[in-house]
Amino acid sequence: MNYLYYGDNLQILREYIQDESIDLIYLDPPFNSNRNYNVLFKNENGTDSEAQITAFKDTWHWDQTAENTYQELVTDAPEQISRMTGALREFIGANQMMAYLVMMTARLIELHRVLKDTGSLYLHCDPTASHYLKIILDTIFDAVQFRNEIIWKRTTAHSDTKQGNVLHMGRVHDIILYYTKTNEAVRNELYQAYNEKYVNKFYKHIDSNGRRYTLDNIAGPGGASKGNPQYEFLGVIRYWRYSKKNMDKLYKQGRIIQTKAGNVPRYKRYLDEMPGIPLQDTWNDIHAIQSQSNERLGYPTQKPLALLERIIKASSNQGDIILDPFCGCGTAIHAAEKLKRRWIGIDITHLSTSLLKYRLKDAFDLSEKKDYKVIGEPQDIESARQLALESRYQFQWWALSLIQAKPLGGKKGSKKGKKGSDGGIDGVIAFIDDRSKKPKRVLVQVKSGKVSVRDIRDLIGTVEREKAAIGVFITLESSTKPMIKESVLAGVYHSVRWHKKFPKIQILTIEQLLNDEIVNMPPIRATFKKAKKEGKGMKQINLLT
């Protein structure tokens, strides 16, 4: 069974993931490389705020949580890690960078614990902190288990001087630090395709079947000292790579040719028989997801599927367990499912876990509970109330996911998910139900506190103003009789295509949604941007603004 966890990955790793149970770990922890580098080393005062990670903005700060984690590391961690952590703080200071490194150290200790002896870890980062992370990984994994600093060229050349008075050159790459648990780690050889210039230069011959080939040397290197046989072949006496018997066989197959009488015979090596160039530590053949890419789901830190497929193919086999503790929109999980691996994903926002559910449904037709388990999300009304008390924005994202509505209203990167000019709309579901192909909208409002008939009247006004088809009101509390009456008086939406009438305003309680009730609406939806259906070549529609 595969698992998707909602919550702090440090806690989840400690409580749920067993020792030496994971074959491959990929992590792309949130870190805003667009920040001014100096800000990361600015001392911070105050202990009121807690370190948190929102959907679009890392918020690593030296606060009470960072201080507590630091104290835990220097007092409880193995001596070498304790000394390393203390030295880093002495050198760097108590600032955002050190907060990030402290939080990462605690998690990397747990990731090392859960990794099998045959396992590998790939940490995706940028040059801002990669040198510090490498010190931490060397301490936890042992420096001899460092395998590669992979350079992924994620974008083409550009001039940063146009952005203002900057001294640096164009920053076009990310770093992926590759470590293994032991020398027994899984390692599968991968190959990259030859580039066109190489092919045209070395495979310039084309046979009658259109196959490209090159003529390769078949003389035996080292001559007699290496045990190579000497004999005459096509009038040429040499030490050869092959025995006389094998040479005659290859000649009859057309694989040994002599371009002109007296010339040394050569071996015909076809391009389509060559695996390619063995994978090196500089990857410039996988491009970052562009704004118009069919693969793009709208998540700001989304990585290309090909990148994760390469990592998973290189360091795991079918049936192995892949862990992504910062899974975001789920590219590593998507790649693992596609390549027939088992997987565990962890994220601290309900927005991310919701996106991953839709992605698995769209790409593989996987359903929660049947194909994978979700742990950490509310399963009953009391846990829903607790989530609302902890964070009404997390509650809102989770509630919207119950009806597969796209969240609206949060300005990208806003500190606490504050609403922008959304006009009281928390989410939207789009559908198409006529020949015009114009999308119709279901507008959604979510309330976790007290509700009254005034809320329904406001929703009716919003639906009318926005010319929407249907309005849905999700409430944690029970609806009142006046609310129900007002929603009935709002009338119906008539779907021409389906020859059916749907209530214009619908009230759904969290309790009803937990009991699998759904929005009463036309069945054709275009909600989040859909992940491509694997194996079908289906074109995507829309996801996250």
pLDDT tens figures, 218-236 = 999 888 898 999 999 999 9
CATH topology of domain 2-159+171-191+280-375: Rossmann fold (3.40.50)
381-514 has the same fold as 2-159+171-191+280-375: no
Q: Please state, in angstroms and rounded to a whole number, the distance separating the CA atoms of residues 261 and 235.
A: 8
Residue 495 main-chain phi, psi, to 5 deg: -95, 115
State residue 525's pLDDT score: 47
Neighbours of 422 (CB within 10 A): 15
Nearest to 101 by CA among 9, 26, 29: 29
Q: What is the mean pLDDT of residues 100-113?
A: 96
Contact 176, 207 (CB under 8 A): no
State residue 544's pLDDT score: 37
Q: Which two tokens stand for residue 335?
A: 């790649």
pLDDT tens for 277-300 read 999 999 999 988 876 677 777 666
Q: Please state, in angstroms and rounded to a whole number, the distance separating the CA atoms of residues 181 and 195.
A: 34
Q: Given pLDDT bands bounded at 50, 70 and 90, which one contains residue 530?
A: low
Mean pLDDT, the chain, as a whole number?
A: 86
Nearest to 512 by CA among 424, 402, 436, 409: 402
Segments making up each domain of the chain, as ranges: 2-159+171-191+280-375, 194-273, 381-514
Q: Which two tokens stand for residue 115?
A: 């990794």
Q: Given pLDDT bands bounded at 50, 70 and 90, which one contains residue 263?
A: very high
The interaxial angle of helices 130-141 and 96-114, nearest 10 deg, is 30
Q: Which two tokens stand for residue 127?
A: 């040059």
In the chain the first and final C-alpha atoms are separated, in Å, by: 32
Would residue 234 be called left, alpha or beta, if left means φ above 0 and alpha means ψ between -120 and 50 degrees? left
CATH class name, domain 381-514: alpha beta
Q: Please state, in angstroms and rounded to a whole number, the distance separating the CA atoms of residues 29 and 188.
A: 25
pTM, two decimal places? 0.79
Flag whether pLDDT at 335 surpasses 50. yes
- Coil, helix or strand for 266? strand
Q: What percent of the chain is modeled with pLDDT above 90?
A: 65
Residue 278 main-chain phi, psi, to 5 deg: -55, 140
State residue 163's pLDDT score: 66
Number of H helices, E strands in the chain: 15, 26
Helix (H) or strand (E) holding 140: helix 130-141
| 230: β partners | 239
